[in-house]
Amino acid sequence: MVSAPGSDTLTAPAPGQVSYLGEGIQTAVKLLITGHFAVGKTTFVGTLSEIEPLRTEEPMTEASVLVDDLTGVPHKETTTVAMDFGRLTLSQSLVLYLFGAPGQQRFTPLWRDMTLGALGALVLADTRRLENSFPVMDLLEEHGLPYAVAVNRFDGAPEFAEDELREALDLLPSTPLVMCDARDQESATRALISLVQYLLRQTDQESA
């Protein structure tokens, strides 16, 4: 990946302000937005996308209710069955393509195609179900994708110190960990920028 000019001070436009790519775009980056079931991936992509996001949500059936853990989200009525897609221009030369990957185990065959060409992933996590993040992180490591973790703040969810979260998630010291609210553009942007800057640092280290 080519480092974008001014990457240390990345900013993002408000959703809806940009509907086309500027002539100065030099780098397009594919990123995965992933995490376990009902962790806020569709909301996250929709919050940040500058274009109308592509969604593949379908009503949950009685069969899916039996296999999908609705802990903390008892009123959830839909689930992503393929992917979410959005686009975000971070600077005059850098655009991000956001692919929201479903977190249920039955959709893991989709991962092989979705990881092709991706440079990294942002893993959304929920403090009420941290253990559900491990299969997702295992898949990313299996496919060799670097990732950052963003703990999505849910109303009423317990809060923990960063060192406690790192220990619970068994994260390497270099893995970025941030708190975010997937419903809030500024908060979600900061989470995504933490991943982009991490990938840029890795690229600089590899090319040094």
Q: What is the mean pLDDT of residues 11-40?
A: 75
Q: What percent of the chain has pLDDT over 90?
A: 53
| CA torsion, ordered 31, 97, 59, 69, to nearest 10 deg | 20
Which has more pLDDT, 60 or 167?
167
Answer whether 122's CB lies under 8 Å from 84's CB: no
pLDDT for position 90: 82
pLDDT for position 76: 44
pLDDT higher than 90, residue 114:
no
Residue 178 tokens read as 């941030």
Per DSSP (E only), the strands in the chain are 27-35, 57-59, 78-80, 84-89, 94-100, 118-125, 147-152, 177-180
Distance CA 7, CA 4 (A): 5
* pTM of the predicted protein model: 0.78
pLDDT for position 12: 52
Q: Beta strands 118-125 and 27-35: pairing type?
A: parallel
Residue 4's pLDDT band (boundaries 50, 70, 90)? very low
pLDDT higher than 80, residue 31:
yes
pLDDT for position 120: 97
Q: What is the mean pLDDT of residues 47-67?
A: 64
Q: What is the mean pLDDT of residues 68-80?
A: 50
Residue 71's pLDDT band (boundaries 50, 70, 90)? low
Residue 107's pLDDT band (boundaries 50, 70, 90)? low
Please state which of the ranges 62-66, 95-99, 124-128 shows the lowest mean pLDDT: 62-66
Residue 41's pLDDT band (boundaries 50, 70, 90)? very high
Please state which of the ranges 6-15, 78-87, 118-127 shows the lowest mean pLDDT: 6-15
Of 176, 198, 146, 180, residue with least CA distance to 47? 180
pLDDT higher than 60, residue 61:
no
CATH 3.40.50.300 fits 27-56+79-207, yes or no: yes
